[in-house]
Structure 1
C-alpha cells in the first residue's frame, strides 16, 4: 500500500479527544455502553457543551511548540455525536447543543494556517443510530460487544437496515468529511464489531482514494489501512512498515477532572525517543474541557517535549529507525543519508557510552544541544574476520535534563555487523 512521505517524516502528532463527554467528565461513549451512565444522562450533556473558549489557532500554536507536524480531532466518537453539521443524522453539536456551529472546519483551517497536517478521527460504529445494531458478525471478535447498542439479538438481524446504515451514515459522513475538510489523514476507529466484508472495507478504501488520493488511512480498516496503529505502549519488537503509537499524557483520553496522573516531560521524551527509534510516529493525546480549553498541565508537558525536540531536532527531522537493540543501550536514529547515527542516553552517561557492531570508522562525535565534541577509542575486534571493535565514547560534561543525544558521524553509509564474533 502506498504511503504519503509526509507521514513517516512527521514523527509527532497531537490527538484531540473532544466531545460532549467533557461536560460531565465521563468516559467517551464507553460510559453509557458499559452502563456506568444512563444513555439519556450521557446525551443530556449536549445541553452543556458550549465550546465557549474554543480557539483553534491557540491549539495549533501549542501543537507547533510541541514539535508536532499533524493533529487528529475526534469528529465523531462511538456515541455518534458529530462535531460538524452532518446531513446524515440529526445528532450533532451544531444542531443539538449551544455551540450551534461547525467545530471541524475551524480546526482544519487553523492547522493549515500553522503548517500542520489535518487528521480527522471517525468511528465506524455508531452506538446511537437505530440502524447500526442490525447485523451480527459470523464470530464476535470481542465478547463484550454483544450489547444492545452494538448488536441485535440472535434472530433479529435486519440486513436492509445495515445496508442503509453503511450508505447513509457510514459512507455518507465520510464523504462529508472528505468533501468539506480535505483531510490529510483519516483516523478510523471501531471496526472490531463487524468483519471486513460487512464493513466493505476494501470498497471503502477505494472510494476514499478515488475522491481524495493523497489522504492517508490509519490501520483500523481491517487490512486496508496504510499504517499500523499501536495503542498505549511502545512495541518491544520494531514493527515492519510505517506505524504510529497513540498515547495519553495522563491515563484517559477525554477530559475527566479526576484524571490527574499526568506523565512527566521526562517520561514523554522517553516514549517519543523509543517510538521514533523504532521508526514510528507518536500521536500524543490531550482531552480539552467542554469549553475548548486545554489543561495547563498538558500544555506544560507539550511545550517541554517541544523544547527537547528543538534542542535535538537533527536527530528527529528527518531521520529513520536506528540500530537494532544490542548495538546501543537505548534508542537510536539514523540520518536519511545513513551517515550519522544519533544515540539517545536516557540516564546521565557515566565513564563512557558504548557503540557496538559498527564496521564504519567514526569521524566525529558531538552532543546535540551543546555542540561539545567527544573523544572515543576502539576496544577489541578481530579485523581479519571483519569483527569490529567496540567504540567507547567520552561522557559529555553537560547532560540534557531529559535525554542526551550524541551525533556519531561515520565515514560512509552505516555498515552493521550482526555476526557472533567467534574466531
Structure 2
C-alpha cells in the first residue's frame, strides 16, 4: 500500500437521466440557487479526504496488483499517435474570418461561440466523408507507433459516436451515418495497434450543468472565473449538485458506452482540476468498475498528494523533458495546435520528434505525438510528412525504442541512451568529427558493438574506469539520430555522473537534470521557453550537477535564463572545485525572452566526480534558469 501511494504522489454505476437542454443563464442560475442547500452536500475538503481514503483502501488499492499487466503493452510501445479531431476541425482555426489564437480545438471557448450557434454552424457541418480509418492506421503503423488515441469527446461536448446518453453527437447533430470510433477500432486492430479514446470529463462547454461555459451559462471554471475561479467548489459549493448531475447524466453513461461498445485499451482524460477531486475520483472509480483492465492516464483524477491514473502525464508541447519517476507520457504536437489549424505552419522537423522520442525513452517515458486531421477526415499533408519521416527512422531503429527501459547512464555530450536487457543503444545526435565516441559511466563490460542501421562492427576500447572509446564510421547513418548498439556482459549497469567532453561541442547541463538543494523550487512545464527551474532567489538554494572530465581543459560557461518581470535579478555564481565564476544578470523582456550570460572560463580538472553548482546572489524575485552550456 505504501509503495502504491509513493508512486501516486510522484507527480503527480450511475442512473441515466434525460439530457438537459441548453436553456441559458437565467435557468442555470436558478438551478444553482436551488442547489444552495447544505443538505447532503458536505464540505468539499471532507469529501476529497473521503474519496482518497476510499481509493487508497478500496478500489484503487485493489487495482494495484494488475497495474503492471495493464501497462505491459504501453511500456513496449513507447510511441503512439494522438488524434485531435472533431467538429472544431471544420473551422480550421478560424471563426467568421478571424483567426483563433492558440489551440484550434478551443475555438468555441476563445471566440465565445454560443452553444446553439456552434451546434448549427459547426457541429452540424461535421460530415467527414473522406475519413478512411484504415488509411490512418496504416500511416500510424508505418510511423512506428504502437497505439492510437482519438478524441471521442473534447471540451466542446460533441460526441464522435452515436451516443444514447446524449443527443449531442455526430449521428443526431450532423446526420453522419457512419461510426468513426467503430471504424478506427476495427482498423487499429487489423494493423496491430492498441487503441483508445480521449474523453473530456471535467470540462464540457455544451452541457449546462458542466464546468467551463460561462458565456451561455452562469457556470464556474470558465475564463470569467465566476464563483471563485479555479476552486469554485470551496466558495460556491451550490454548483456541486449541478456537476453531480452532469456526471450522472452524461459522463459516466458515455464512458460506459465507450467501454461496452468499443473495448478500448486506454482512456485518456484531461483538465481534471475543473472538478473537485472527489468528483474526479468518482468518475475513475466508475471506469475501473466497468473495465478493470483499461489503462487510465494521469489526468483523470489527481490532487496535490494523489494521482489515481496508471501513469503520469507531462505538460503539452514539450521541448525538454524533466526526469519523472515511474511510467509517464509526453504529448508533443506537430505544430502549435492540437486540432487542425489551416493557418498554423509552425511544424517542427522530423529530427525534433525523433530526438524527443529517444530522450523520452531514455527517461523511461512514452511520446504520444499529436496530429490534427482536417474536417473532411484527411490527415493534413505536413502532418503526414512528419509521420512518414519518423517512420523511416523507426523502420531502421525501432528496436532502440520499443520495449526499452530507463537508462542508468547520464546524458552524454553527444546524445542519450536507451536500454533493453544486455543491450545499450547509443543515440548519437552529434556525430564525432574525429570518429571517436567516448561513452562515460558504463559499468557493464562491452562484448561487441555495431551500427544498428548497417550492422557494421564498431571497435570498442576501454580507456579506464567506466569509460570506453568507440571508433565510428566517417559518416553518420542518420543526421537526426544514429544508433550504435553495445552488447554488454550481463544487464546494462551504469554509474551516476555527467562526463564532460569538449570534442562534441557544447555540453548542455539542463536545469531539469540538476539536483535541487534547498526548498521552494518550482519547475516550468517543459514547453519551449518553459523548461526552467525557479527558486534560486531563496538563500541557500542551489542547483548541482555531478560532473567529471577525463582530461584537464578550459571551458567557457554560459547561463541561459529569463525573468518574469523587470526586477533586477542579481548575480549568477558558478562554483567548481576551488574556482568561482560570477556575472551580473539583467532583467529580460518577460519569461519568454531567454538571455545568455557569459560567466567566463572554467578550468576542468581530470579525475573523480565533482559538484558543479549554480546559485544566485542579490535576487529578490524568481529567475527562470534553463541551462548551463560548457563550450570548448
Pick from 183, 202, 206: which aligns with 1:128? 206
Question: CA separation in 2, counterparts of 1:159 and 1:298?
Answer: 41
Inter-partner Cα distance in structure 2 for 1:309 and 1:53: 28
Matching of residue 53 in structure 1 with residue 130 in structure 2: yes
Tell me if structure 2 keeps the 8 A contact 1:48–1:98: no
Partner in structure 1 of residue 473 of structure 2: 396
Range moving further from structure 2, 307-316 or 70-79: 307-316
The CA deviation at 1:156 is: 8.7
1:178-327 correspondence to structure 2 within 5 Å: 178-199=259-280, 201=281, 203-221=282-300, 222=302, 223-230=307-314, 231-233=316-318, 236-326=321-411
Separation of aligned partners in 1, 2:82 and 2:123: 22
Alignment equivalent of 2:423, drawn from 340, 365, 378: 340
8 Å contact kept, 1:81–1:93: yes
Q: Residues 160 and 115 (structure 1 numbering): CA distance in 2 closer, same or farther, change over 3 Å?
A: same
Mark the runs of 5 or more structure 1 residues left unpaired by the alignment: 382-387
Contact 1:134 1:162 in 2 (8 A): no
Q: Do the aligned residues in 1 keep the contact of 2:373 with 2:380 (CA within 8 Å)?
A: yes
SS of residue in 1 equivalent to 2:415? coil
Distance 1:350 1:29, change over 3 A: closer
User: Deviation at 1:327?
Assistant: 5.3
* Alignment partners' CA distance in 2, 1:285 and 1:176: 25
CA contact (8 A) 2:409 2:441 kept: no
Matched, 1:417 2:495: yes
Residue 346 of structure 1: how far off its partner (Å) = 1.0
* Counterpart selection for 2:484 from 390, 406, 409: 406
Whole-angstrom CA distance in 2 between matches of 1:321 and 1:152:
40
Q: Does 1:31 align with 2:115?
A: no
Are 2:157 and 2:206, in contact at CA under 8 Å, matched by a contact in 1? yes
More strand by share: 2
Superposition deviation, residue 20 in structure 1: 0.8
- Return structure 1 stretches of 4+ with deviation > 6 angstroms: 148-154
For residue 349 of structure 1, the aligned residue among 432, 438, 447 is: 432
Ranges in structure 2 where 5+ consecutive residues have no aligned partner: 1-63, 94-102, 215-219, 498-547, 549-606, 610-632
Q: Does 1:8 align with 2:75?
A: yes
Which TM-score applies when normalising by structure 2? 0.61
- Summarize the Cα distance change of 1:238–1:159 in structure 2 as closer, same or farther, 3 Å threshold: closer
In 2: Cα distance, 1:276 partner to 1:7 partner: 12
Cα distance, 1:211 vs. partner? 2.6
Bigger mean CA offset, 398-407 vs 127-136: 127-136
Quote the offset at 1:288 in angstroms: 0.6
Q: Which has the higher contact order (CA 8 A, sep 6+)?
A: 1
- Give the C-alpha shift of residue 126 in structure 1: 1.1
Deviates most, 165-174 or 231-240: 231-240
Distance in 1, Cα, partners of 2:292 & 2:423: 34
Following the alignment from structure 2 to structure 1, what is the Cα–Cα distance between the partners of residues 480 and 239? 56
Look up the match of 1:385.
none
Q: CA deviation at 1:34?
A: 2.9
Q: What is the distance in 2 between the residues matched to 1:29 and 1:310?
A: 32
What is the TM-score when the length of structure 1 is the normalising length?
Answer: 0.89
- What is the 5 A alignment of 1:131-142? 131-133=209-211
Quickly say closer, same or farther: Cα 1:365–1:220, change in 2 above 3 A. same
SS of the equivalent of 1:33 reads helix
Matched, 1:358 2:442: yes
CA distance in 2, matches of 1:312, 1:155: 54
For residues 399 and 333 of structure 2, the distance between their equivalents in structure 1, rounded to whole angstroms, comes to 25
Count of matched residue pairs:
409
Residue among 255, 258, 276 paired with 1:174: 255
Query: Bigger shift: 316-325 or 88-97?
Result: 316-325
Secondary structure at the aligned position of 2:419 is classed as strand
Equivalents in 1 of 2:324, 2:207: separation in Å? 36
Shifted more, 143-152 versus 289-298: the winner is: 143-152
2:251 aligned with 1:162: no
Q: Deviations over 1:17-53 (max 9, x none)?
A: 0011111113445223234655554331123211110
* Partner Cα separation in structure 2 for residue 316 and residue 326 of structure 1: 16
Distance between the aligned counterparts of 2:407 and 2:413, measured in 1?
A: 10
Name the SS of the counterpart of 1:312 in structure 2: helix
1:378 corresponding residue in structure 2:
462
Q: Which protein shows a greater Rg?
A: 2
Greater mean alpha carbon deviation, residues 294-303 or residues 281-290: 294-303
Q: CA deviation at 1:234?
A: 5.5
Q: Which moved more, 1:160-169 or 1:229-238?
A: 229-238
